[in-house]
Structure 1
Amino acid sequence: MESLSLTDLAQEHLGKAREGSAGRSAVTVHGHHDFVLRQTLIALLQDQALAEHDSPREATLQVLHGRVRLTAGEDTWEGGVGEMLVIPPARHDLLALEDAVVLLSVGTGA
Protein backbone atom coordinates (compact mmCIF):
# COMPACT_ATOMS: atom_id res chain seq x y z
CA MET A 1 0.00 0.00 0.00
CA GLU A 2 1.28 3.43 -0.91
CA SER A 3 0.87 6.43 1.33
CA LEU A 4 1.58 10.10 0.79
CA SER A 5 0.79 13.33 2.58
CA LEU A 6 -1.59 15.47 0.56
CA THR A 7 -0.87 18.32 2.98
CA ASP A 8 2.87 18.19 2.22
CA LEU A 9 2.23 17.78 -1.50
CA ALA A 10 -0.18 20.74 -1.47
CA GLN A 11 2.46 22.98 0.14
CA GLU A 12 5.10 21.79 -2.34
CA HIS A 13 2.92 22.60 -5.35
CA LEU A 14 1.79 25.95 -3.97
CA GLY A 15 5.51 26.77 -3.81
CA LYS A 16 5.97 25.65 -7.41
CA ALA A 17 2.96 27.74 -8.49
CA ARG A 18 4.48 30.79 -6.78
CA GLU A 19 7.85 30.23 -8.46
CA GLY A 20 6.47 29.62 -11.97
CA SER A 21 5.11 32.15 -14.42
CA ALA A 22 1.77 30.34 -14.95
CA GLY A 23 0.63 30.66 -11.33
CA ARG A 24 -0.26 26.99 -11.17
CA SER A 25 1.21 23.55 -10.66
CA ALA A 26 -0.25 20.05 -10.95
CA VAL A 27 0.74 16.43 -10.43
CA THR A 28 -1.08 13.14 -10.93
CA VAL A 29 -1.07 11.36 -7.57
CA HIS A 30 -2.91 8.22 -8.63
CA GLY A 31 -3.74 6.52 -11.90
CA HIS A 32 -2.68 6.74 -15.50
CA HIS A 33 -4.17 5.99 -18.93
CA ASP A 34 -5.34 2.43 -18.12
CA PHE A 35 -6.72 3.12 -14.61
CA VAL A 36 -10.44 3.63 -13.94
CA LEU A 37 -9.68 6.34 -11.36
CA ARG A 38 -7.28 9.23 -11.86
CA GLN A 39 -6.50 11.77 -9.15
CA THR A 40 -4.64 15.00 -9.79
CA LEU A 41 -3.53 17.59 -7.27
CA ILE A 42 -3.81 21.12 -8.69
CA ALA A 43 -2.41 24.27 -7.06
CA LEU A 44 -3.66 27.66 -8.30
CA LEU A 45 -2.64 31.09 -7.07
CA GLN A 46 -5.38 33.62 -6.29
CA ASP A 47 -7.25 34.80 -9.41
CA GLN A 48 -5.73 32.05 -11.57
CA ALA A 49 -8.20 29.90 -13.47
CA LEU A 50 -8.57 26.72 -15.43
CA ALA A 51 -10.39 27.99 -18.52
CA GLU A 52 -13.72 26.53 -19.54
CA HIS A 53 -13.39 22.91 -20.62
CA ASP A 54 -15.52 19.82 -21.15
CA SER A 55 -16.52 17.70 -18.20
CA PRO A 56 -15.24 14.16 -17.78
CA ARG A 57 -17.76 11.38 -17.23
CA GLU A 58 -17.66 11.55 -13.45
CA ALA A 59 -15.51 13.87 -11.37
CA THR A 60 -15.24 15.48 -7.97
CA LEU A 61 -13.10 18.28 -6.61
CA GLN A 62 -11.94 18.22 -2.99
CA VAL A 63 -10.58 21.51 -1.64
CA LEU A 64 -7.41 20.94 0.38
CA HIS A 65 -6.35 24.58 0.78
CA GLY A 66 -7.96 27.96 0.09
CA ARG A 67 -11.22 28.69 -1.75
CA VAL A 68 -12.35 28.06 -5.32
CA ARG A 69 -15.35 28.81 -7.54
CA LEU A 70 -16.60 26.30 -10.09
CA THR A 71 -18.83 27.74 -12.83
CA ALA A 72 -20.92 25.81 -15.34
CA GLY A 73 -23.13 28.04 -17.45
CA GLU A 74 -25.28 30.14 -15.09
CA ASP A 75 -24.54 27.92 -12.09
CA THR A 76 -21.70 28.52 -9.63
CA TRP A 77 -20.48 26.68 -6.57
CA GLU A 78 -17.86 27.81 -4.07
CA GLY A 79 -15.83 25.47 -1.95
CA GLY A 80 -13.39 25.88 0.92
CA VAL A 81 -11.07 23.61 2.85
CA GLY A 82 -12.62 20.22 3.51
CA GLU A 83 -15.45 20.66 1.02
CA MET A 84 -16.06 18.49 -2.02
CA LEU A 85 -17.76 19.69 -5.19
CA VAL A 86 -19.33 17.29 -7.66
CA ILE A 87 -18.39 18.50 -11.13
CA PRO A 88 -21.49 18.72 -13.33
CA PRO A 89 -21.63 16.98 -16.71
CA ALA A 90 -21.26 20.31 -18.54
CA ARG A 91 -18.54 22.67 -19.71
CA HIS A 92 -17.11 24.45 -16.69
CA ASP A 93 -14.21 26.50 -15.38
CA LEU A 94 -12.44 26.81 -12.04
CA LEU A 95 -11.24 30.03 -10.39
CA ALA A 96 -9.03 30.32 -7.30
CA LEU A 97 -10.65 32.91 -5.02
CA GLU A 98 -7.46 32.75 -2.93
CA ASP A 99 -4.35 30.59 -3.20
CA ALA A 100 -5.87 27.13 -3.45
CA VAL A 101 -5.08 23.45 -3.83
CA VAL A 102 -7.66 20.91 -4.98
CA LEU A 103 -7.70 17.16 -5.52
CA LEU A 104 -9.46 16.34 -8.79
CA SER A 105 -10.79 12.77 -8.93
CA VAL A 106 -11.95 11.55 -12.33
CA GLY A 107 -13.58 8.29 -13.35
CA THR A 108 -11.96 7.61 -16.70
CA GLY A 109 -14.26 4.79 -17.76
CA ALA A 110 -11.24 2.67 -18.74
Structure 2
Amino acid sequence: MTLHHVPDLVEAHLAAARAASSQRSSATLSHQGELRQTLIALAAGAALHEHAAPRAAILHVLQGTARLVVGEDGVELPSGTLTDVPHRRHGLQAVTDVAVVLTVLAD
Protein backbone atom coordinates (compact mmCIF):
# COMPACT_ATOMS: atom_id res chain seq x y z
CA MET A 1 0.00 0.00 0.00
CA THR A 2 1.29 3.45 -0.92
CA LEU A 3 0.14 6.58 0.88
CA HIS A 4 0.37 10.04 -0.68
CA HIS A 5 -0.09 13.39 1.04
CA VAL A 6 -1.75 15.09 -1.90
CA PRO A 7 -1.43 18.74 -0.76
CA ASP A 8 2.36 18.33 -0.47
CA LEU A 9 2.55 16.68 -3.89
CA VAL A 10 0.46 19.44 -5.44
CA GLU A 11 2.71 22.17 -4.05
CA ALA A 12 5.90 20.36 -5.07
CA HIS A 13 4.72 19.70 -8.62
CA LEU A 14 3.32 23.20 -9.12
CA ALA A 15 6.71 24.60 -8.06
CA ALA A 16 8.44 22.20 -10.46
CA ALA A 17 6.06 23.17 -13.28
CA ARG A 18 6.73 26.87 -12.74
CA ALA A 19 10.48 26.22 -12.95
CA ALA A 20 10.39 23.82 -15.93
CA SER A 21 10.83 24.96 -19.52
CA SER A 22 7.82 22.77 -20.42
CA GLN A 23 5.80 24.46 -17.64
CA ARG A 24 4.56 21.07 -16.45
CA SER A 25 5.36 18.37 -13.95
CA SER A 26 3.75 14.99 -13.33
CA ALA A 27 4.02 11.82 -11.28
CA THR A 28 2.29 8.47 -11.37
CA LEU A 29 0.43 8.05 -8.09
CA SER A 30 -0.84 4.54 -8.70
CA HIS A 31 -0.60 1.92 -11.43
CA GLN A 32 -2.50 -1.24 -10.66
CA GLY A 33 -3.12 -3.45 -13.67
CA GLU A 34 -5.11 -1.39 -16.17
CA LEU A 35 -5.88 1.43 -13.72
CA ARG A 36 -3.47 4.37 -13.57
CA GLN A 37 -3.63 7.66 -11.66
CA THR A 38 -1.33 10.54 -12.52
CA LEU A 39 -0.89 13.91 -10.85
CA ILE A 40 -0.33 16.60 -13.49
CA ALA A 41 0.68 20.16 -12.63
CA LEU A 42 0.68 22.94 -15.24
CA ALA A 43 1.85 26.51 -14.80
CA ALA A 44 -0.66 29.18 -15.90
CA GLY A 45 -0.77 29.37 -19.69
CA ALA A 46 0.72 25.90 -20.25
CA ALA A 47 -1.19 23.24 -22.15
CA LEU A 48 -1.36 19.57 -22.94
CA HIS A 49 -2.04 19.87 -26.65
CA GLU A 50 -4.71 17.88 -28.41
CA HIS A 51 -4.22 14.15 -28.03
CA ALA A 52 -6.19 10.91 -28.33
CA ALA A 53 -8.49 9.84 -25.53
CA PRO A 54 -7.82 6.65 -23.55
CA ARG A 55 -10.50 4.00 -23.22
CA ALA A 56 -11.90 5.65 -20.12
CA ALA A 57 -10.66 8.64 -18.12
CA ILE A 58 -11.70 10.89 -15.25
CA LEU A 59 -10.16 14.27 -14.51
CA HIS A 60 -10.27 15.76 -11.00
CA VAL A 61 -9.09 19.36 -10.54
CA LEU A 62 -7.36 19.61 -7.18
CA GLN A 63 -6.21 23.24 -7.32
CA GLY A 64 -6.53 26.09 -9.79
CA THR A 65 -8.58 26.26 -12.98
CA ALA A 66 -8.17 24.23 -16.17
CA ARG A 67 -9.93 24.38 -19.52
CA LEU A 68 -10.80 21.06 -21.18
CA VAL A 69 -10.97 21.56 -24.95
CA VAL A 70 -12.75 19.05 -27.19
CA GLY A 71 -12.80 20.09 -30.84
CA GLU A 72 -14.03 23.67 -30.99
CA ASP A 73 -15.69 23.43 -27.57
CA GLY A 74 -14.15 24.09 -24.19
CA VAL A 75 -15.27 24.13 -20.60
CA GLU A 76 -13.59 25.70 -17.59
CA LEU A 77 -12.99 23.35 -14.69
CA PRO A 78 -12.44 25.12 -11.35
CA SER A 79 -10.89 23.50 -8.30
CA GLY A 80 -13.02 20.66 -6.98
CA THR A 81 -14.46 19.72 -10.38
CA LEU A 82 -14.54 16.07 -11.40
CA THR A 83 -15.45 15.13 -14.97
CA ASP A 84 -15.21 12.28 -17.40
CA VAL A 85 -12.96 12.89 -20.40
CA PRO A 86 -14.86 12.51 -23.69
CA HIS A 87 -13.82 9.65 -25.98
CA ARG A 88 -12.55 12.17 -28.55
CA ARG A 89 -9.32 14.03 -29.16
CA HIS A 90 -8.94 16.70 -26.50
CA GLY A 91 -6.50 19.08 -24.85
CA LEU A 92 -6.07 20.69 -21.46
CA GLN A 93 -5.09 24.30 -20.81
CA ALA A 94 -4.03 25.88 -17.53
CA VAL A 95 -6.12 29.02 -16.97
CA THR A 96 -4.26 29.48 -13.66
CA ASP A 97 -1.57 27.32 -12.10
CA VAL A 98 -3.43 24.03 -11.92
CA ALA A 99 -3.00 20.54 -10.48
CA VAL A 100 -5.20 17.64 -11.56
CA VAL A 101 -5.41 13.93 -11.04
CA LEU A 102 -6.05 11.97 -14.20
CA THR A 103 -7.44 8.47 -13.69
CA VAL A 104 -7.32 6.26 -16.79
CA LEU A 105 -8.11 2.75 -17.80
CA ALA A 106 -4.86 2.14 -19.66
CA ASP A 107 -4.46 0.00 -22.75
TM-score (norm 2): 0.94
Give the percent of matched residue pairs that are identical in Structure 1 and Structure 2: 43
**Which residue is equivalent to 2:14?**
14
Output the CA distance in 2 between the equivalents of 1:102 and 1:6.
11
Matches within 5 A, 1:28-47: 28-31=28-31, 35-47=33-45
Unaligned segments of structure 2, at least 5 residues: none
Matches within 5 A, 1:8-87: 8-31=8-31, 35-87=33-85
What is the aligned length?
107
Output the CA distance in 2 between the equivalents of 1:47 and 1:40.
20
Give the superposition deviation at 1:6: 1.2
User: More displaced, 17-26 or 94-103?
Assistant: 17-26
Output the CA distance in 2 between the equivalents of 1:19 and 1:79.
24
| RMSD over equivalenced CA pairs, Å | 1.2
Output the CA distance in 1 between the equivalents of 2:8 and 2:48.
23
Output the CA distance in 2 between the equivalents of 1:7 and 1:62.
14
Output the CA distance in 2 between the equivalents of 1:6 and 1:47.
23
Unaligned segments of structure 1, at least 5 residues: none
Give the superposition deviation at 1:108: 1.6
TM-score (norm 1): 0.92
Query: Which aligned segments of 4 or more residues in structure 1 are displaced greater than 6 angstroms?
Result: none
User: More displaced, 45-54 or 69-78?
Assistant: 69-78
3-state SS of 1:31 partner: strand
Output the CA distance in 2 between the equivalents of 1:21 and 1:51.
16
The amino acid across from 1:13 in the alignment is: H
